[in-house]
Chain A
Amino acid sequence: MESVILQIAARHMRPILIVLSLVVLYRGHNEPGGGFIGGLMLGAAFILYAMAFGVSKTQKSISFSPVTMTALGLLIALLSGVPALFSGSPFMTGEWITLFQHTVVELKLGTPLLFDVGVYLTVAGMLMLVMFSIMED
């Protein structure tokens, strides 16, 4: 199936979806969103591309394999639990550092965000892994 409309749409939608998925990932802690939804969106971005251009072309256009992405996600999620051990808390306790504090704006980073990044990558990776292998022909 070669559709010019789909191809043009996919080419322009992909970066937008990727950025959007990152936004959803980051804002997840306070507003609706999070790693799982973000991961689904990221996966969807690549699946849309694969529907328009085919799996092999999509895989060529990205420099990592879905397997690596899944594994990396799991690893990050696992490692995010480790910092808590150094402060004597149980594995996976949330640890936070405030990078920037102002009366209005506040930037906090914590291991739960890192964990969410892990979820995000794992979900997207597994989605791409499954879809690519089924769509491939």
Chain B
Amino acid sequence: MGVELRYGLRRALHSLRAPPTWQQRSCVASSHRTSRPSKAFSTSTSHRQEPFTAAPEINLSAENNIPILKRIRVVPASPSYFSGKPAFTDDLLALQALLRKYQTLPVVETGHAPRIAWRTFESYKSFLGSEPIKASKYQRLVAILHRLNHIHPSLMPQEVKDAMERYKREINPFANVAKPKPVDEWGRAMGLGRRKTSTARAWLVEGEGEVLVNGGSLAQYFGRLHDRESAVWALKATQRLDKYNVFALVRGGGVTGQAEALTLAVAKALLIHEPGLKPALRRAGCITRDPRKVERKKPGHLKARKMPTWVKR
């Protein structure tokens, strides 16, 4: 602590000789982790400490004849010096300074910036060490990153790119794009859907609305009208029922599960023919797989949650 204080005071003295502008200071603050690590001033915990050499002690006595020192107070270079969470505050201030520096750069339209997965709150916390920070504070940081990310890609300064790099998740989930499935040479598109324990594969071809399920007609396979509607719901919700023919194979589970597995399978196959229908299908509830399954039975229980009747003795 003593060493850091001394170093801070030295820098303060230095600053007296050439008083810095805010930007310069913020540059120091922002770049101390990248460009000039050896001179970094940091109060963060040891895991981030880079090698440094202690500055010589400042002599505040009378021999060191600096008259101004009698009038002014020496303050640390980092505004977060007195903070309980200095590393986070440093990060926040650095990003704020960066934003201030580049805020006049043109930006892309909202939502058109490249998608980046920022570190999660937990990941950032463990990255900083044991510093207590709140999720809401981290949200402020992420908001600045989000704004920085909206700077037009062709004008994005290297400095900003480097600064953002630090907050990115190690694996970008948005880079994992599903391989588009093609319509095959016979004009068929295959989709796979699941629900409960049922699995359905549906092939969609252009046609007049004929449906075959496991070799039988829709009416033969599903006795309930409701299940029949479920099976072709993706087509019905998008007014495509008389544009395609469906043939499907369904396995496993019960009648309702099979019908609802078909909903998903048909929707996925339809998306191969017409990818633009995705929002409509999502509104119709045909995109998201229903993850609910039968809950397992536990020992000591009669069923998943049912307990045997309480008996006094």
A binds B: no
Chain B positions near chain A (C-beta within 8 angstroms): none
